[in-house]
Chains A and B, each alone.
Chain A
Amino acid sequence: MSTTVIEVSDVAKRFTLRHNRSLKELAVAAFRGRPTGDTFLALDGVSFDVADGESVALLGFNGSGKSTLLKLISGVLKPDVGAIRTRGRVAGLIEVGAGFHPDLTGRENVYLNGAILGMSEQQIAARFDEIVAFSEIERFIDTEVKFYSSGMFLRLAFAVAVHSDPEVFLIDEILAVGDEPFQRKCIDRIKQLKGEGRTLVIVSHDLDMVARLCERGILLEKGKMVADGTATDLVSRMRGEHE
């Protein structure tokens, strides 16, 4: 039995859809005893453990709470109920390029984003050439990012992310990056990371791809965990239920 790197115990997350917040509306709500907003339960009673080196697909249709769960694991959100614990550095590739600034050059953005993802100056410097080579934008590395095409931008952002060397990778729907050869390169890189024994948690609507990349799947339905099994089984179950 190997070490647990992600421990999710009985987690619930409720979002408040609060729209009315002006003084008048608050006063009206207080006077009439009406709640100031609606809430909805994005996750409810979810528990599972992920062992070191496992690759897990979070499966479910839109609104099932997959992305919320990923944000909870990365620490961006906090659970209302239950607890989440992780071991080692967790890098959320929740949205590539979130830390990029259009007015900085590609080079500056590599350093800034590397630091945001928790790398030290030395680590970034040591991997800089590798990152640039991976992104295939050598010629434009000293150009400001606002002049990049969207494909170039995403390639550079993804290159930084996959070279950030965390123990746990959280990947949300980012494999739709660039053209087909680059996508293949990304998937190869993820397979390589998996081969190195890193833990992966992947959210994607590309079911064939996640079934290929992950052994294990966790199926969410309206915020509840309904199944935990092999990714291939769950993907066929989803297809069966859906059609």
Chain B
Amino acid sequence: MSAAAGLPLTTPGQGRGLLDVLDRRYLLRLIVRKELRVRYRGSVLGMAWTYVKPAIQFGVYFLALGVFLGQREAVPDYAVYLFSGIIVMNFFGEGFGNATRSILWNAPLVNKIYLPRELFPVASLWVSAVHFFPQFLVLLVAAVVAGWRPTPAELAAGVVGFVIVALLALGLGLLFGAVNVFYRDAENFVDLIVMVATWGSPVLYTWNLVHAALPEWLWRIYQANPLTAAVELFHYAFWYGGTGRPQSLPAGGAPLPPDLWTWAGIALVVSLVVVTVGQIVFRRLEGRFAQEL
């Protein structure tokens, strides 16, 4: 007689979603380690690729927008401004994109062994956080060189910004990852969304230009985008402090949008709603993953 007698009868394959991932932390860690190891197999530069891509991106944008289009004059420390937005978008793009593809990538496991399938998107997000970290260190160095001495509120803004992006990427990753099992179109949408997101948030330009060009109601929609809030929080955290905290930019207008914390709160709520919707859709579709793959 085995130990089974003392245990309750349960329905196999019916987990508690993201909560199960917390119970399987050890497995999550191993999956993350595997992904990191496997990602750069057979490549000479290895992890250094996580520096190369943002460096090139930064170089191109800085030259085209900063120098040619003159943003460098309009925004003090434009390099820091630009880079703090770019790393937020890279984190979002990589986390969202890989979470979306994670179920397909792990198809052999998904259709042979029952695991909480949320493990795969969560692991993808974690991997992109690992890649975010070295870029973040570069940003810190640049900020310090620019004369950045943060206040506690500014540091808190950085943390909140990171949390917003992580939640949003996870929620969208769950949603699109589940749909992607049935319609591979989903992963193409992801690439489009990531591309639009970079231009649709104040990464390359300042919020003033948007505010001047859009009617008030449309600008509010623009501000309600969690990524906009996250990027502005990052500006506030890592760029603003290094510029001497001016009241207005050289070209006029405030360096940061009004009601930053209110928008941050809205962004946090929107991201949590996205996670909830993503989780609900994921669980709806999860039962049919194995037979579709």
Interface residues, chain A, with chain B CB atoms under 8 Å away: 2-5, 7, 15-16, 21, 52-53, 71-78, 83-88, 90, 92, 94-95, 98-99, 101, 103-104, 108, 111-112, 115-117, 120-121, 167-168, 196-199
Contact = CB atoms under 8 A, between A and B. Distances in A.
Given A2-B1, A99-B109, A103-B38, A87 B8 contact: yes
Contact of B114 (A4, A92, A115): A92
Given A71-B290, A94-B113, 8 more contacts: A52-B5, A76-B13, A84-B11, A87-B4, A87-B7, A90-B12, A112-B30, A196-B2
Interface residues of B, number: 35
B28 to A, nearest CB: 9
A77 B14 contact: no
Contacts of A3: 4-5
A88 B4 contact: yes
Contacts of A16: 291
A171 to B, nearest CB: 13
B40 to A, nearest CB: 10
A201 B128 CA distance: 41
A199 B114 contact: no
Contacts of B217: none
Nearest to B111: A76
A87 B10 contact: yes
B291 A199 contact: no
Nearest to A117: B113
A115 B291 contact: no
A196 B4 CA distance: 12
B277 to A, nearest CB: 22
B113 A77 contact: no
Interface in B35-58: 37-38, 41
Nearest to A92: B113
B26 interface: yes
B4 A5 contact: yes
Contacts of B2: 52-53, 88, 167, 196-199
A74 B290 CA distance: 12
A-B pairs, 7 with minimum CB distance: A75-B13, A75-B12, A75-B114, A88-B4, A98-B112, A78-B287, A115-B27
Nearest to B289: A76
B92 to A, nearest CB: 27
B9 A4 contact: yes
Q: Most chain-A Cβ atoms within 10 A of its Cβ — which of B11, B12, B26, B287?
A: B12
